[in-house]
Structure 1
Amino acid sequence: MNQKSFFRRFRDSQIFWPLVAWIIILVFDAIIDPTFFKLGIIEDPTYGKHLYGNIVDIFNNGAPLMLVAIGMTLVIATGGIDLSVGAVIAISAAMGAVLINPALGNQLISNEILTKNATNTPLPIIILADLLAGTLCGLWNGLLVSRVKIQPMVATLILMVAGRGIAQLITNGQIMTIYYTPYFWFGNGYILGLPVSIYIVALILILGWALVRKTSIGLFIETVGTNARSAYYSGINEKNVKLFAYMFCGFCGAIAGLILSSYVHSADGNNNGLNYELDAILAVVMGGTMMTGGRFNLLASAIGAVVIWTFTVTVYHLGVPANALLAAKAILVLVVILLYSDYTRRFVNRITTKRRVAKHETSN
């Protein structure tokens, strides 16, 4: 009885359907490529021995999207949305690159800079500037939404449009290549054979879980998302709750920009974080968070991001060109909508109910 009730609770939890979707894609991958799950150990002259394989790459390359999805979850749970997370990634990456580059973006990158594995700015300051830039972007969005009372879609659309221009202003319109080796550790380093980015995601996930489940913040967020007026009359400061959600989203976007620019060794105001806002929204919806706000689950959103990245890898395995990836994702969006429809939920409940009744009649 306890096992049945556990399964029933698990089936009704927000992580059930993302896990089902991920397992289906992985089974498909195993069919089309039996070596898909193959893992190996490689000796890297810089970072030592570490694991390599498709699964490792999925979690490593999908780490920025997982981070953005975690931050986006709190925003959507309040009944809002953040369309600027891709631009925040670009701003954060540009901030780090321009601090590493001694020319500070005011000059074209010289041969001396290309061959010089050094910077005038200490690495902790670079990281702090990255995080501060993204958090300030979240603060800007939060102020527009919570204080100025602009609709979230319109408020964040402002930074979505202007953000990439800001990133290009920071880098003086250049695609800035980074040659500072210590900076590469965040996107390319390994700890105990696993990518550093996985540990960063786990740390942010634990931090976010502790904030929303071990303090009253999570309850406040769900209350504001469910009924903001009721939350106000209950004594909850709706403005500060929304401000916190947008700042946390900006903070997660800044870390994603740090990892992404570290991984690709460059900062490109036009392409860093491109379309990440759409993938993050899809990951959050796949994780069971309603677009109208309310109940949310950070782990489910992170799993949704893994599903999206696994799907991307699968599409490439099938030989689909990169320029057709968006069309392929449209199919994934359609499947997600069907899975979360009321008809599907009623169908699953009807099947499980019939099975329970049949077992009960058989036992009698």
Structure 2
Amino acid sequence: MSAQMRRLMWPLLVLAGLLAANLAVTPGFFEISVKDGRLYGSLVDILHFGTPLLLISLGMTLVIALRGIDLSVGAVVAVSAALACEMIAAADHPGSPATVAAAVATALGASALLGLWNGFLVAVLRIQPIVATLILMIAGRGVAQLITGGQITTVRSEPYRRIAAGDVAAVPVTLVVAAATVLLMWLLVRRTALGLLIEAIGGNAEAGRLAGIRATGMTVAAYTFCGVCAGLAGVVISANTGSADGNNAGLWIELDAILAVVIGGTLLSGGRFSIAGTVLGAVIVQSLSTTVYTMGVPPESALVFKAVVVFLVCLLQSPRFRAQVAAPFGRGRPPRPAPTGPGLAPSEEDAVRPTATGADEPGRQEVPR
């Protein structure tokens, strides 16, 4: 079994357990049907409603791999949704595809600028990532409310609605967008040297600098990509609800995104990352939310239930915890035997050989000449 598969084994088991629990409560949980030329079912709903979280988690993966963090993605979601909906609502022809395309392009462009701003603060001005992105987390939410005038902006545009409710060959558009983003990111970081450069900078920034890697440009690009992913998530969320709420859109989604990345095996200390692990982590977080509603967990206990499950996942992923649990049953790793053989252990002659300086060393004694 490869190292990556070993890291993904426990998240896969947790996901299987969540799906099995849902199946026990709802016998038709795995059923998928086609209605009006579109796929429907609980599994499809998990992927559909989990698309915004997956998009943000993908961008967050690169940021965390570079030893950073982005707490502003929720605010970027709100700004993106507010811009797109306000442009469509103020247009003379809100149902025009050209109007929708211009609104989406503007929202994504603004999101890229916000991500670029975060990258500038972190990479150029050397501000701590948690502080730099906290600035935009607070200010961005206020900007979104300024754009909407403190009100919920509602749009009635069929082309915009179809971004979330449409389908391509019976597959929801949201799933197509998520799959295309995952594929694009995989091609960029696993079929080019970009992924190795990111891991080199995240693992040891000083060594990367000495090797000639431009960490500044790489960090700015990662934050910009994270901003674009958050902006795209904002478009999907607002298209799904048909409205933009500057106060609540994307609220606390940054915490779920960080959680999904960590569950997927990417360390907060930076370095090695996993795209497949991030996708799996996002599906687990969304499945957990679905399980809370399916099993009828009271709303006042939902967050506690979710926290307990996440805590168990983190424990199962800890090698030290698993070793301590297995030790009483005799399944711990046996001690490694001392090396023997020529050149591996000192001989009796070496034990009494004098040093070059004539001084005694531990394990040796000086003999008369």
Normalising TM by the smaller chain, what interval? 0.7 to 0.9
Match of 1:32 in 2: 25
Match of 1:132 in 2: 109
1:240 aligns to 2:233 (yes or no): no
Of 12, 20, 25, the match for 2:13: 20
Identical-residue share of aligned pairs (%): 44
User: Measured at CA, do residues 10 and 225 of structure 1 come closer, stay the same or move farther in structure 2, by a change above 3 Å?
Assistant: closer
Corresponding letter in the other structure for 2:279: A
Match of 2:84 in 1: 96
How far apart are residue 11 of structure 1 and its match?
3.7
Following the alignment from structure 2 to structure 1, what is the Cα–Cα distance between the partners of residues 322 and 333? Answer: 17
User: Measured at CA, do residues 11 and 219 of structure 1 come closer, stay the same or move farther in structure 2, by a change above 3 Å?
Assistant: closer
Following the alignment from structure 2 to structure 1, what is the Cα–Cα distance between the partners of residues 189 and 55? Answer: 16
1:56 aligns to 2:44 (yes or no): yes
Uncovered stretches (5+) of structure 2, i.e. residues with no partner: 335-369
Following the alignment from structure 2 to structure 1, what is the Cα–Cα distance between the partners of residues 223 and 196? Answer: 16
User: Measured at CA, do residues 8 and 302 of structure 1 come closer, stay the same or move farther in structure 2, by a change above 3 Å?
Assistant: closer
User: Measured at CA, do residues 120 and 207 of structure 1 come closer, stay the same or move farther in structure 2, by a change above 3 Å?
Assistant: closer
- Taking the TM superposition and a 5 Å limit, the aligned residue runs for 1:209-228 are 209-228=186-205
How far apart are residue 332 of structure 1 and its match?
2.5
Corresponding letter in the other structure for 1:18: P
Match of 1:261 in 2: 238
- TM-score (structure 1 length as normaliser): 0.86
- TM-score (structure 2 length as normaliser): 0.85
Match of 1:302 in 2: 279
Following the alignment from structure 1 to structure 2, what is the Cα–Cα distance between the partners of residues 205 and 250? Answer: 16
1:271 aligns to 2:213 (yes or no): no
Match of 1:4 in 2: none
Of 137, 161, 167, the match for 1:190: 167
Match of 1:361 in 2: none
Contact 2:66 / 2:199 at 8 angstroms: preserved in 1?
yes
Corresponding letter in the other structure for 1:283: A
Following the alignment from structure 1 to structure 2, what is the Cα–Cα distance between the partners of residues 121 and 151? Answer: 41
Contact 1:102 / 1:120 at 8 angstroms: preserved in 2?
no
How far apart are residue 347 of structure 1 and its match?
6.1
Contact 2:97 / 2:159 at 8 angstroms: preserved in 1?
no
| CA RMSD between the two structures | 2.4
Corresponding letter in the other structure for 2:121: L
User: Measured at CA, do residues 322 and 162 of structure 1 come closer, stay the same or move farther in structure 2, by a change above 3 Å?
Assistant: farther
How far apart are residue 326 of structure 1 and its match?
2.4
Contact 1:99 / 1:121 at 8 angstroms: preserved in 2?
no
- Taking the TM superposition and a 5 Å limit, the aligned residue runs for 1:43-122 are 43=36, 49-102=37-90, 118=95, 122=99
Following the alignment from structure 1 to structure 2, what is the Cα–Cα distance between the partners of residues 184 and 175? Answer: 16
How far apart are residue 229 of structure 1 and its match?
1.1
User: Measured at CA, do residues 145 and 227 of structure 1 come closer, stay the same or move farther in structure 2, by a change above 3 Å?
Assistant: same
Contact 1:184 / 1:262 at 8 angstroms: preserved in 2?
yes
1:102-157: CA deviation from partner (whole Å, max 9, x where unpaired): 27xxxxxxxxx9xx753696222112111111111110100000001000000000
How far apart are residue 257 of structure 1 and its match?
0.6
Match of 2:176 in 1: 199
Match of 1:41 in 2: 34
Match of 1:108 in 2: none
1:155 aligns to 2:143 (yes or no): no
Provide the secondary structure at the position in 1 that maps to 2:39. Answer: strand
Pick which of 132-141 and 94-103 moved more. Answer: 94-103
Contact 2:88 / 2:94 at 8 angstroms: preserved in 1?
no
Corresponding letter in the other structure for 1:24: G
Provide the secondary structure at the position in 2 that maps to 1:338. Answer: helix
Higher Cα radius of gyration: 2
Contact 2:203 / 2:271 at 8 angstroms: preserved in 1?
yes
Following the alignment from structure 2 to structure 1, what is the Cα–Cα distance between the partners of residues 208 and 146? Answer: 41
Following the alignment from structure 1 to structure 2, what is the Cα–Cα distance between the partners of residues 230 and 172? Answer: 49
How far apart are residue 348 of structure 1 and its match?
8.8
Match of 1:230 in 2: 207
Between the two proteins, the alignment pairs up a number of residues equal to 334
Of 141, 151, 158, the match for 1:181: 158
Uncovered stretches (5+) of structure 1, i.e. residues with no partner: 1-6, 44-48, 104-112, 358-364
Following the alignment from structure 1 to structure 2, what is the Cα–Cα distance between the partners of residues 350 and 216? Answer: 41
- Taking the TM superposition and a 5 Å limit, the aligned residue runs for 1:332-347 are 332-346=309-323
User: Measured at CA, do residues 119 and 277 of structure 1 come closer, stay the same or move farther in structure 2, by a change above 3 Å?
Assistant: same
Corresponding letter in the other structure for 2:130: M
User: Measured at CA, do residues 341 and 9 of structure 1 come closer, stay the same or move farther in structure 2, by a change above 3 Å?
Assistant: closer
Contact 2:323 / 2:332 at 8 angstroms: preserved in 1?
no
Provide the secondary structure at the position in 2 that maps to 1:40. Answer: strand
Following the alignment from structure 2 to structure 1, what is the Cα–Cα distance between the partners of residues 134 and 160? Answer: 31
Structure 1 moving runs of 4+ over 4 Å: 347-351, 353-357
